[in-house]
Amino acid sequence: MYIDVVTIFPELFAPMLGVSILKRAQEQGRVEVKVHNLRDYTTDKRRTVDDRPYGGGPGMVMKPEPMFAAVEALETLSHGIRRRADRSECQIVLMAPQGEPLTHALAQELSGLRHLVILCGHYEGVDERIRSQIAHREVSIGDYVLTGGELPALVLIDCVVRLIPGVLGHQDATREESFSNGLLEYPQYTRPATFRGMDVPTVLRSGDHEQVGVWRRLQALARTLTRRPDLLSRDTHGPRASSMLTPPSQEATAVKPWRNAKGSASAGFRPPEVDKGATAVKPWGSTGVSRNG
Ligand code: JBE
């Protein structure tokens, strides 16, 4: 796979691309990432990439000319990219807060491309003609405003590249499958069996693989139900998934919302926090106190 990135901060990419799985994937020749400086495609002395918005208002807008020139140069320079011709081979993605949310499914789709071009926006936005005429799609990594598309581009590269066949080792790939089932991860433990008074759940040390499987599935479901119920309504779990949760077994609900584990004496089966009352269930907070209330 070929990945081309167009950015005004090319130096941000090398540190991430130079370590771990991204580094290995490039060394193995499974992906080739090239980072291009948008300013190299300007024509004025000051290498201007932005300008004031028509109609007034605050902030600056990315000019169309450098981005068009950059993408046109990629078309002739790189890998025979065929813009708009075949979207199953090549896609040009603009990282932008108003884009479609990045999901595992989208990452999987993009990991099958031969060529991915990523454009990083900046300032208050990009000229609409960049969106409409260059980008095949716009992708967002979340509902918050960042200073630019570089971190989103790195997030996209990271999650796409690890899905390219052969990039993850066999073991990782098997793990991957069990996490891409739409559920959150079940709790994991390693040695020691007892740490500062906290025990590893007995079932995990029992050697009973079937029971371990059941426990993990229940934990994953309960955790997803507590923290991200939206994931459960989304897809493939079917009626069985929800029936596994009603009535909830102690194991299934012994899932602590994030960041409230302080002072817990045991990491094993315990009366669930979620039983403290419906209004106290705050999957992500620690206090249950509403900021708006
Ligand atoms: O998610 N994104 O792709 C963004 C790009 C630029 C600024 N903020 C974002 N959230």
DSSP class per residue in the chain: -EEEEEES-GGGHHHHHTSHHHHHHHHTTS-EEEEEEGGGG--STT---EEPPTT--SS-EE-HHHHHHHHHHHHHHSTT--TTT-TTTEEEEEEEEEEEEP-HHHHHHHHT-SEEEEEE-BTTEE-HHHHHHT-SEEEES-SS--SBSHHHHHHHHHHHHTTSTTSS-HHHHHHHHHHTTSSPPPP---S-SEETTEEPPGGGGS--HHHHHHHHHHHHHHHHHHH-HHHHHHSTTHHHHHHTTSSPPHHHH--PPTT--TT-S-SSS---GGGG-GGG--SS-SS---S--
pLDDT for res 124: 82
pLDDT at 125 over 80: yes
The set of residues, in sequence order, having a beta carbon less than 8 Å from that of 95 and lying 6+ positions away, is 118, 119, 120, 121, 138, 139, 140, 141, 149, 152, 153, 156
Question: Does the pLDDT value for residue 1 go beyond 80?
Answer: yes
Q: Are 186 and 251 in contact (CB under 8 A)?
A: no
Res 235: pLDDT:
52
Our mutation pick for probing the ligand 1 site, out of 93, 126, 146, counting the most ligand atoms within 8 A of Cβ, is 146
Identify the structural domains of the chain with CATH numbers, from first to last: 2-161 (3.40.1280.10), 194-282 (no CATH)
Residue 236: predicted pLDDT: 54
Indicate if ligand 1 lies below 6 Å from the C-beta of 149.
yes
pLDDT computed for residue 69 by the predictor: 97
What's the confidence (pLDDT) of residue 77?
A: 67
Phi, psi torsion values for 21, nearest 5 degrees: -65, -35
Task: Please state whether beta strands 61-62 and 50-51 pair in parallel, antiparallel, or not at all (unpaired).
Answer: antiparallel
Determine if ligand 1 sits within 6 Å of the CB of residue 146. Answer: yes
Cβ(142) – ligand 1 distance below 6 Å: yes
pLDDT average, residue stretch 85-102: 90
Per this entry, what is the length of the chain?
293
Predicted local distance difference test score (pLDDT) of residue 270? 42
Res 287: pLDDT? 35
Instruction: Express each pLDDT in 247-291 by its tens digit.
Output: 444 444 455 566 544 444 334 334 333 333 333 333 543 333 344
Q: What is the pLDDT of residue 122?
A: 87
CA separation for the pair 165, 183 (Å, rounded): 22
The response to whether residue 141 sits with its C-beta less than 6 Å from ligand 1 reads yes
Task: Return the ligand 1 atom nearest residue 147 CA.
Answer: 7
CA-based nearest residue to 118, from 87, 86, 147, 156:
156
**More confident: 23 or 284:** 23
- Gap from CA of 10 to ligand 1 centroid (Å): 17
Task: For residue 65, name the pLDDT band (cuts at 50, 70, 90).
Answer: very high
pLDDT tens string 168-226 = 987 676 666 656 788 999 999 999 999 999 999 999 999 999 999 999 999 999 999 99
Q: At what angle do helices 104-111 and 150-161 cross, to 10 degrees?
A: 70
Residue at token pair 């208002």: 57
Which of 6, 62, 94, 95 to mutate for ligand 1's pocket (most ligand atoms within 8 Å of CB)?
95
